[in-house]
Structure 1
Amino acid sequence: MIRGDSSVTTAAVVEYYAEASDLISADLGGPMHFGYWRDLPEGSTIPDASRRMTELMVEKVGVTKGQRVLDVGCGRGQPAVQLAEATGAEVVGIDISPRHVRLAGDLARAASRDDQVRFEVADVTELPYPPESFDGAWMLESFFHMPDQTAALRQIARVLRPGGKLVIANLVLRTPLTDEQNARLASLWKVGQIAALVPLSGYPGVLAESGLYTDEVLDISEHSIGPTFAAIRELHAARRRAEAAESNASVDLKEDMDAGMDLFSATPAIGFAIIVASKPTA
């Protein structure tokens, strides 16, 4: 069973990040996604774990120099730049937020990667690229925002070359939610603009409907959500003690996001996974 807020729209997601982007980036040390904490040394930071998550994505997408990758929901661009640095591949990042695209472009220029990485405002359900024009694609914590996930996957399958990989890092349902649990989580779906969560067991079917074959479904919940939330709580406590300057986000949004972390932590049915799929060669 797929759960989430069916009222989420593209415009609402853009508005959400207009308010929340700076707060999320400040909490996570720049990157805007969960970390991967497995085997990291003691004393590692959220940016260390976020970089390790991107390293895992790079490993799974498996591209090399001269190939081309589509980053769907690129955010502020850190993962795309890291991918380009690690592989030598060309990266095209798309996002529905013009502000994210602008910030990502600034980052690529600062890293001297703007000849290798570019960012564009685009909607994944209407990709402006010809068929079979990418060797790989990934969605790093953007899939759950998409109101029409099937249309998104079909568009990605269209622009992938045969044999190309799609890697999805996403919140998932590890076990079904009861109606009572889903009602309790309604505020979380709304504040986080979570359109839908697919069960772990549901990915092969969802991907097959879009013409993609599932290679791997890797549940990394214990190495991602819990440690990342624990690190954010420590960061928030340190800020309160130091009376740090207020961010641009409203006090209400901060409180809603803190409450959301508590709900996540109390609901082990919500997890985090890496899903690897490929486009058939014949």
Structure 2
Amino acid sequence: MALQLGLKKGMKVLDVGCGIGGPLIEIARFSSALITGLKNNDYQISRGKELIFSAGLSEQCSFLKGDFMNMPIADNTFDAAYAIDATCHAPDAQGVYSEVYRVLKPGQCFALAEWRLTDRFDPNNAKHLTIKAEIELGDGLPDIRTTRQCVQAMKDAEFEVSYSCVINR
């Protein structure tokens, strides 16, 4: 993901819905970028701060408490953003993608990895429905969106979608 985003030393990067910061730490080590993790959970932020301190990355990584549907961040702040299994929890995909778009500098990329249903999902197939239900239960997800729904939500949020990254125009 860091390579896809072209992350380099000194770049300001947002980890949307960072959890306790596992990927944040690894991406920071790999890229030398300055990474801010956005999370709305005090315990996870506290634990994340302990982990970045233990990793010796306190100067490079930070956490910000906030809702990714209404980020407490100024427009055009970040050089890149990513989300890993986070925005699939958003009540409104376009809403969260619009917020990411807003805080990215123009022309910058957003990468994400999350649960989505492919075109091969068959809502009439009992096995598919069972797998979907178990993923939703296990990960605390609302109804999993399709890839098409996510791509359309990104386009509606004004991103240009490509296979290599999602670009803030």
Does TM-score exceed 0.5, indicating one fold? Answer: yes
Partner of 1:195: 142
Counterpart CA distance in 1 for 2:30 and 2:138 is 34
Displacement of 1:201: 3.6
Partner of 2:167: 278
Partner of 2:25: 81
Q: Matched residue of 2:47: which SS?
A: helix
Residue 109 (str. 1) matches residue 46 (str. 2): no
Counterpart CA distance in 1 for 2:98 and 2:54 is 34
Counterpart CA distance in 2 for 1:96 and 1:201 is 28
| Contact preservation (8 Å) 1:146, 1:196 | no
- Deviation readout 1:146-182 (Å, 9 max, x if unpaired): 2222211000000001111100101121223315647
Alignment: residue pair count: 166
- The aligned amino acid for 2:38 is I
Q: Matched residue of 1:124: which SS?
A: coil
Partner of 1:178: 123
Partner of 1:15: none
- The aligned amino acid for 1:155 is E
Identity %: 22
| Contact preservation (8 Å) 1:144, 1:196 | no
Q: Which has the larger radius of gyration?
A: 1
Instruction: Provide closer, same or farther for how the CA distance between residues 81 and 186 of structure 1 changes in structure 2, counting only shifts above 3 A.
Output: closer
Structure 1: runs of 5 or more not aligned:
1-56, 218-275
Higher helix share: 1
Displacement of 1:87: 1.6
- Deviation readout 1:200-231 (Å, 9 max, x if unpaired): 344432211001011117xxxxxxxxxxxxxx
Residue 155 (str. 1) matches residue 44 (str. 2): no
Q: Matched residue of 1:129: which SS?
A: coil
- The aligned amino acid for 1:81 is I
Counterpart CA distance in 1 for 2:86 and 2:124 is 25
- Deviation readout 1:168-198 (Å, 9 max, x if unpaired): 1011212233156476444542342112433
Instruction: Provide closer, same or farther for how the CA distance between residues 99 and 177 of structure 1 changes in structure 2, counting only shifts above 3 A.
Output: farther
Partner of 2:14: 70
142-151 or 64-73: bigger deviation? 142-151
Counterpart CA distance in 1 for 2:163 and 2:69 is 24
- Deviation readout 1:2-52 (Å, 9 max, x if unpaired): xxxxxxxxxxxxxxxxxxxxxxxxxxxxxxxxxxxxxxxxxxxxxxxxxxx
Q: Matched residue of 1:195: which SS?
A: coil
Structure 2: runs of 5 or more not aligned:
none
Partner of 2:158: 211
Partner of 1:261: none
| Contact preservation (8 Å) 2:80, 2:108 | yes
Q: Counterparts of 1:258-273 in structure 2 under 5 Å?
A: none
Counterpart CA distance in 2 for 1:196 and 1:214 is 23
| Contact preservation (8 Å) 2:93, 2:150 | no
Higher strand share: 2
| Contact preservation (8 Å) 1:96, 1:121 | yes
Counterpart CA distance in 2 for 1:177 and 1:145 is 22
Counterpart CA distance in 2 for 1:194 and 1:205 is 20
Q: Matched residue of 1:213: which SS?
A: strand
Counterpart CA distance in 1 for 2:114 and 2:29 is 23
Displacement of 1:103: 0.9
Counterpart CA distance in 1 for 2:143 and 2:63 is 26
